[in-house]
Amino acid sequence: MGRRVVVTGMGCLTGLGNDLATTWENLLKGVSGVRTITRFDPSGFATKIAAEVDGFDPDAWMDRKEARRQDLFTQFAVAASAMAMADSGLDMETEEATRVGVIIGSGIGGIGTHEIQTSRFLEGGPSKISPFYIPMMIPDIAAGIVSMRHGAKGPNYCTVSACASSAHAIGDAFRLIEHGDADAIVCGGTEAAVTPMSIGGFAAMKAMSTRNDEPERASRPFDAERDGFVLGEGAGMVVLEELDHAKARGAERIYAEIVGVGMTADAYHITAPAPNGEGAARAMRLAVEESGLEPEAYDYVNAHGTSTPFNDEYETMAIKSVFGDHAHDMMVGSTKSMTGHLLGGAGGLEFVITSMVLAEGKVPPTINLENPDPQCDLDYVPNTMREAEVGAALTNSFGFGGHNAVLAVKRFEE
C-alpha cells in the first residue's frame, strides 16, 4: 500500500461557467452549455453547435503580452490551475519546489494556432509564420507554462491519449505521489478545439450531433434519439497531494481521496469501442481492484457518456459486467449532457465533478434523457439532480485509438 493521495484544490472553466462554483451550480440545475458556435461562422458546416466558454478574459490571469503568445488551450490551463492552486492554499514560497509537479493532458493542443498560422503560410509564404507558432501549438506547453508560473520543478509533462488524456494525467500524478516521487502535483486537462478544422473533421466522421435547431437538447447520452457528441471546451484542474503533507501544512479542505486507476487498450479499432465494452470493463475492474473496496461500495459512475450510439450502449454493458446486479443500484451520470465533450480535457473536468459529488452529496443529472434506449437500462439520474450520500465513485474516460482510463475515488475519511 503506497502513500494516501487526496484532492485539496480544484478549478475549472466550462460552457457552464468560468469557475467551479458557477459550473457546479449550473450542473445541479441541469443547465445546458450548448449553443450555436460564435468562435467562427459555422454556416456551411454540418454541425453548428458547441459548448463554448463564454466571457473568458485571459487578461485576468496573465499579462496581455503573455496572453498573445499562448493558444487558448494554454490560457484555459493557466486560469484553471491558478484556481486550483488558490483553492488548495499550497504556498510555493514555503514548498520544496522539486517536490511539486505539473501534468496536464490535452488531446489536440493548439489547433487554433495551427489553423491561423497555416492560413498565413498559404497566403504569404514562410516569412509570415510567427516565431511563436511551435511553442503555442505543441500540447505539452500548457504543463510547461503552468510549472513556470508556479515555480514547480517536480515531474512535468503532457499526456496525449485523445479523450482519455487528462484521466491519464491524473492517474500518473496519483502514481507518482503514491510512490514518493512528488508530494503534490497540479494535474488535469485542457482543450480549445472549437475551430473550423476540428468541427469540420469530427463532422466528416459523422461523430457529432447535427441537432442544430435545438442546441440545448443535442447532447443526450443514453437516449434512443442521440445522434452524436457535442464538442465542448475548457479545462478541469486539481491539486493532488500526499495526505500527511496536506495535513502538515494545514490544508483547509480535502474534497476526496483517489484510491485506484485502471488503464487498458481495446486493441480493436481507431475510433469504435471494443464490442460489449470489453476494454472499458477491464479498466473499471482494475481501478476497483486497486481501490481495495468491494464493488458494492461504489454508488456512482461518472460515465464517459458521449451521446454516441456505440459508446453509450457498450459502456452500459461494461458497467454491468463489472458490477453485476449491483449496477442497477448505482447512479450512472453523464455530465457531458450539459458541458459537451471536452475531448482531452474531459477526464480532468469529470474528475473535478466526481470529487464534488463525493464532497457535497449531490449528483448532477443526465439531461435530455427523454426516451431511454432499451439497451441502456441503468439509473442515469435523468433530468433532475439527486441528493445522495456517495461513498465511492468511478469516473470513466475512453479515447479514439482504444485508450481507456478509469479513476476510482472515495469520500475522504481519516
Residue 319 C-alpha cell reads as: 458497467
Cβ neighbours of 55 (radius 10 Å): 7
Residue 389 φ then ψ, to 5° = -75, 120
CB 67 within 8 A of CB 230: no
**Strand order in 156-159's β-sheet?**
156-159, 100-105, 184-191, 234-242, 5-13, 256-265, 403-410, 392-399, 300-302, 331-333
Strand locations in 45-113 (E): 49-50, 100-105
8 A C-beta contact, residue 302 and residue 236: no
| Start-to-end CA span in the chain (Å) | 16
The residue type found at 147 is S
Known catalytic residue at 341: yes
Gap between the Cα atoms of 378 and 312, Å rounded: 11
**23-29, long-range: CB < 8 A, 24+ apart:** 23/339, 24/353, 24/356, 24/360, 26/338, 27/335, 27/338, 27/339, 27/353, 27/364, 27/385, 28/362, 28/364, 28/385, 29/385
Residue with cell 470493463: 281
Annotated catalytic residue 163: yes
The Cα 293–Cα 409 span in angstroms is 10
User: Active site residue: 163, 245, 376, 403, which one?
Assistant: 163
**What is the C-alpha separation between 100 and 181, in angstroms, rounded?**
9
| Active site (annotated) includes residue 328 | no
**How many beta carbons lie within 10 A of that of residue 19, not counting itself?**
16
Alpha helices in 195-274 (DSSP H): 196-204, 243-248
Query: Which listed residue (114, 150, 304, 403) is catalytic?
Result: 304
* Residues that are catalytic: 163, 304, 341
